[in-house]
């Protein structure tokens, strides 16, 4: 009888250790845009579902969030974002005591915007998630912050982060193989959002009609510059934003192929969203540029 009682007590003690502390809740976590949401989801899978403003899923530069979206961010304990020069609405969050704002551009490689129609800037290109090394650093930072704020689940965050880092390494190998046949083929973009991607994988960027740091605004001068560049480099493929009309880019060249490409992954969901986004971009490059080579 004494032995049974001892086993029962041991079992109850062990069970108590497995139960969450009374009143303990996981932090409410928010992402500002889709790529950040994808990376948080990969790290926090099985613990917490990050929230995402509906407008953050469809636009970035100079977005004005709906009141309901601002309320969603204001009610969060942790908000992960790229940079307030990209998601300017972060500056308008209220001063909630204890909220942690985590800027992900601090610890990654930052590139300067490339020249557009011959004009250079010194602004930073903030499409940092399109560089797999940057994405890995972002995963590590997300894991560190979540583990600090939610130590009860730190072991899960670490396991998920390790798995995500391994997936990124595997993804790089697959994408490199996809892009190998078209690496030297020139391309143009409506909006220079792909510098991190094309530099990492060694693609042949020729020109963009607008820079990386603002809403697309293509001028007559920009179109004229694009025509000259397309003719000089025999460009037959231009990547445009899926939300914009592509008809005006027919003016660049009658032979040019127009391909919609989305750096945000607007129609992608799930914990593997980042990998789907990157491989979708790679396949779009391959499809458009391979046809150019075959023509």
Q: Which of 132, 158, 175 is the last residue of a domain?
A: 175
Neighbours of 107 (CB within 10 A): 11
pLDDT of residue 174: 98
Residues 222 and 163 in one domain: no
Residues 191 and 171 in one domain: no
**φ/ψ of residue 96, rounded to 5:** -65, 130
> Which tokens is 64 given?
């004005």
Residues 71 and 141 in one domain: yes
The boundaries of the domain holding residue 55 are 29-175
CATH number of domain containing 278? 3.40.50.1980
93 part of a folded domain = yes
Tens digits of pLDDT across the chain (295 residues): 544 555 545 555 454 444 444 557 899 999 999 999 999 999 999 999 999 987 655 566 667 788 889 999 999 999 999 999 999 899 999 888 889 999 999 989 999 988 776 555 678 999 999 999 999 999 999 999 999 999 999 999 999 999 999 999 999 999 999 999 999 999 998 888 999 999 999 999 998 877 555 555 566 777 777 788 888 888 889 998 887 766 666 667 677 888 999 999 988 988 899 999 999 999 999 999 986 555 5
Residues 146 and 189 in one domain: no
Residues 128 and 62 in one domain: yes
Residues 115 and 196 in one domain: no
35 vs 51: CA distance, rounded Å:
13
78 part of a folded domain = yes
3 part of a folded domain = no
pLDDT of residue 216: 52
Residues 67 and 199 in one domain: no
pLDDT of residue 13: 47
Q: Which of 149, 175, 201 is the last residue of a domain?
A: 175
Tally the domains of the chain. 2
Q: What number of CA atoms fall less than 13 Å from residue 184's CA on the CB side?
A: 2
Q: Which of 152, 175, 198 is the last residue of a domain?
A: 175
24 part of a folded domain = no
Q: What angle do CA 60, 103, 243 make, to 5 degrees?
A: 10
10 part of a folded domain = no
22 part of a folded domain = no
62 part of a folded domain = yes
146 vs 29: CA distance, rounded Å:
9
pLDDT of residue 225: 78
């Amino acid at each position: 009888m004494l032995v049974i009682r001892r086993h029962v007590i041991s079992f109850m003690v062990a069970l108590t250790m497995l139960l969450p502390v009374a009143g303990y809740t996981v932090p409410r976590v928010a992402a500002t845009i889709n790529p950040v949401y994808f990376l948080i989801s990969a790290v926090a899978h099985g613990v917490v579902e990050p929230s995402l403003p509906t407008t953050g899923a469809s636009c970035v530069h100079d977005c004005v969030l709906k009141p309901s979206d601002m309320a969603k961010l204001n009610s969060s304990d942790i908000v992960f974002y790229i940079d307030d020069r990209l998601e300017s609405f972060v500056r308008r969050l209220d001063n909630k005591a204890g909220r942690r704002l985590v800027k992900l551009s601090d610890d990654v490689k930052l590139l300067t915007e490339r020249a557009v129609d011959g004009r250079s800037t010194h602004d930073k290109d903030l499409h940092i998630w399109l560089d797999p090394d940057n994405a890995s650093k972002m995963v590590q930072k997300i894991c560190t912050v979540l583990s600090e704020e939610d130590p009860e689940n730190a072991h899960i965050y670490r396991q998920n982060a390790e798995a995500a880092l391994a997936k990124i390494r595997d993804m790089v190998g697959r994408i490199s193989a996809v892009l190998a046949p078209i690496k030297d083929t020139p391309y143009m973009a409506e909006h220079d959002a792909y510098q991190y991607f094309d530099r990492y994988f060694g693609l042949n960027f020729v020109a963009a009609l607008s820079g990386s740091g603002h809403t697309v605004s293509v001028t007559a001068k920009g179109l004229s510059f694009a025509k000259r560049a397309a003719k000089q480099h025999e460009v037959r493929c231009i990547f445009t934003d899926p939300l914009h009309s592509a008809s005006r880019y027919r003016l660049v060249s009658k032979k040019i192929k127009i391909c919609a490409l989305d750096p945000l992954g607007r129609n992608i969901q799930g914990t593997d969203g980042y990998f789907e986004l990157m491989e979708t971009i790679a396949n779009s490059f391959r499809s458009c540029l391979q046809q150019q080579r075959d023509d």
